[in-house]
Structure 1
């Protein structure tokens, strides 16, 4: 008989462990996938908030789903078994002695209250611990991502101290609350012994007055006792449930958040033909995290199909901001951005961005091969090797790649660390060209390069501009002299525009900028 029960127990527990374990893994994978997709869906302005720093988000992505798994999966099976065991035990106890069972049930609320106090104190610790982990994750990510800069500044000890300091606050709070936790834990544990004393005293009275016998008394008592042990063991998982609750709240907040500019939105018009006529009309803009700083104050400028518009001006005047508005990383507070006569807000977002190719001052390359980095320029289709090489030739980087041992299969390292600035720039140009953009955006693409690299990259940019609309942002005014229209931005609006010769003749802001650079 006992052998049969042992076999049944083995089979049922195996099935339980497998099914609940599998459900926990499926849930964890799904939560991580949904969380990552939600992160990708948020607008750029959301990332500007220091609460959403990269290190914080990566720490949440790594830990939140795992902590929820700690309260589900096999743990959920354990709780289910404990609840069913307790219910069965109560029925058995009522059958053998209902008086004693009623007394035991009357005492249970006190035990639950004691455990609830202990669980709430642990849950409080879980919330603070998570915040500490997020801040520590932000600091560690910042340090490791920029390890070359940290090493060159000999700032290793400074970051180490900051990392430790981020953990000291919760550590001190934990020490302060330790006595309270110890007291509530003691009350919760000793409650069982007080319950035993009451039960045995009442049981002795029942036996003495012939209301029951020893057999029924001990069957009722031990039935509930063994089931209570299972429930008691499950209460030891309270820290996991406290952390899981906090993590679940954060994940649901992220999943429920509706981004102001939704990258996955299917709303908007897709034009059958896009020529690349761009216009900024009376644009006013402030960054969401810096509402007191007015960046653009009535910017109005336009560029026609196939022409090159150069935006010049002092740092912080709003040149790069205008490109970010065209990409719809942000939306203007007032005014409109038009593409071929359509407000960019009315266009399909991913379609609009697919028509724009951008090369920035510090291009970011992914830690994969050169070919894969160039293919990332157009994810709407499979980019052939021939197209990759064609784009590389247009960017004046093909010969360099062919001289590498692994040619286009050469890995570029984290953020392209294995390449020079000029090489990264030209790969970024090839990446922009492979999507065949109608509008090419160049955000100070040569300002960080040496003279020789600048000449090579500038030639590649000049070739890339042919036949398409181009918007150039540049501090070095010698690179924009051939632009069809040069717009001088001052205090967030265009104060002068025209060709190089026209603006020099006016002897205004542009003339002053040119003379300032010549004098240096």
Structure 2
């Protein structure tokens, strides 16, 4: 009832929905352009580095390849899928709140005040989880242990791929495999607790939203049934 009244009074309320769906290809296109420029800038920066830069253990070929691939994928996800989802959520939430407070009854407006904090927490949780897989130690100014382990694992892969003949000639396959497995297990241990806590918190917040919205829809239907929204 509220939506029909609002659409009859202001047909332009359809525009947020159109803009919401139209923003999807725009976000993907922007993410592709950004990642393309990022790859080009990274390659240009690597080409002008001094040879001493590549002599450091942390700047091995495999480590740099792993680092660049991880960062580019993170940026593409941040400005593509996640940005699109956050934009859609804000669009739907803003349009719904404006519609309810302008054309809704005071009972429904009061009920919506309970939902707004829950939805806000849900959005904040999703935004906070964007890029949470990469953390830096701000106090020490060094990369996190997780990122360091990933770089070491990538470095081992690079050494095997680029120097497979040398590895085979020294029969060092088992040693490289054991070292890589240790780093992989360390990465899993570092990520396990954080992912469980973050996923559980987001599931709790996100899972509480549909029942509250369903309760609000039921309440609005009940108000319409008794004639309070006539």
What's the TM-score bracket when you normalise by the shorter of the two chains? Answer: 0.5 to 0.7
Cα displacement string for residues 19-67 of structure 1 (whole angstroms, at most 9, x for unaligned residues): 4333222211100001111222333443343332322212222332232
Residue 5 of structure 2 is matched in structure 1 by: none
Query: C-alpha distance in 1, partners of 2:155/2:164?
Result: 14
Cα displacement string for residues 471-503 of structure 1 (whole angstroms, at most 9, x for unaligned residues): xxxxxxxxxxxxxxxxxxxxxxxxxxxxxxxxx
Q: How does 1:402-421 map to 2 (within 5 A)?
A: none
Q: In the TM superposition, what is the alpha-carbon distance from 1:158 to its structure 2 partner?
A: 1.1
| Residue among 135, 147, 162 paired with 2:152 | 135
Q: In the TM superposition, what is the alpha-carbon distance from 1:116 to its structure 2 partner?
A: 4.1
Residues 77 and 192 of structure 1, relative CA distance in 2, 3 Å threshold: closer
Residues 39 and 171 of structure 1, relative CA distance in 2, 3 Å threshold: same
More strand by share: 1
Aligned residues: 202
Residue 140 of structure 2 is matched in structure 1 by: none
RMSD: 3.8
TM-score normalised over the length of structure 2: 0.67
SS of aligned partner of 1:70: helix
Residue 354 of structure 1 is matched in structure 2 by: none
| Residue among 49, 57, 68 paired with 2:64 | 57
Residues 13 and 183 of structure 1, relative CA distance in 2, 3 Å threshold: closer
TM-score normalised over the length of structure 1: 0.33
Residues 105 and 36 of structure 1, relative CA distance in 2, 3 Å threshold: farther
Query: C-alpha distance in 1, partners of 2:122/2:80?
Result: 27
Residue 80 of structure 1 is matched in structure 2 by: 87
| Residue among 194, 202, 208 paired with 1:191 | 208
Q: How does 1:477-496 map to 2 (within 5 A)?
A: none
SS of aligned partner of 1:154: coil
| Residue among 76, 90, 98 paired with 2:97 | 90
Query: C-alpha distance in 1, partners of 2:127/2:20?
Result: 28
Residue 148 of structure 1 is matched in structure 2 by: 165
Query: C-alpha distance in 2, partners of 1:81/1:197?
Result: 20
Q: In the TM superposition, what is the alpha-carbon distance from 1:68 to its structure 2 partner?
A: 0.9
Q: In the TM superposition, what is the alpha-carbon distance from 1:162 to its structure 2 partner?
A: 1.3
Residue 31 of structure 2 is matched in structure 1 by: 24
Residue 469 of structure 1 is matched in structure 2 by: none
Are 1:36 and 1:61, in contact at CA under 8 Å, matched by a contact in 2? no
Gaps of 5+ in 1: 1-7, 216-520
Query: C-alpha distance in 2, partners of 1:18/1:120?
Result: 24
Residue 351 of structure 1 is matched in structure 2 by: none
Query: C-alpha distance in 1, partners of 2:62/2:100?
Result: 54
Query: C-alpha distance in 1, partners of 2:20/2:119?
Result: 29
Residue 73 of structure 2 is matched in structure 1 by: 66
Are 1:118 and 1:181, in contact at CA under 8 Å, matched by a contact in 2? no
Residue 109 of structure 2 is matched in structure 1 by: 101
Q: How does 1:158-173 map to 2 (within 5 A)?
A: 158-173=175-190
Is 1:113 matched with 2:121?
A: yes
Q: Tell me: higher relative CO, structure 1 or 2? Use CA pairs within 8 A at least 6 residues apart.
A: 2
Q: In the TM superposition, what is the alpha-carbon distance from 1:149 to its structure 2 partner?
A: 1.1
Residue 425 of structure 1 is matched in structure 2 by: none
Residue 285 of structure 1 is matched in structure 2 by: none
Q: In the TM superposition, what is the alpha-carbon distance from 1:198 to its structure 2 partner?
A: 7.1
Structure number with larger C-alpha Rg = 1
Are 1:118 and 1:188, in contact at CA under 8 Å, matched by a contact in 2? no
SS of aligned partner of 1:71: helix
Are 2:20 and 2:87, in contact at CA under 8 Å, matched by a contact in 1? no
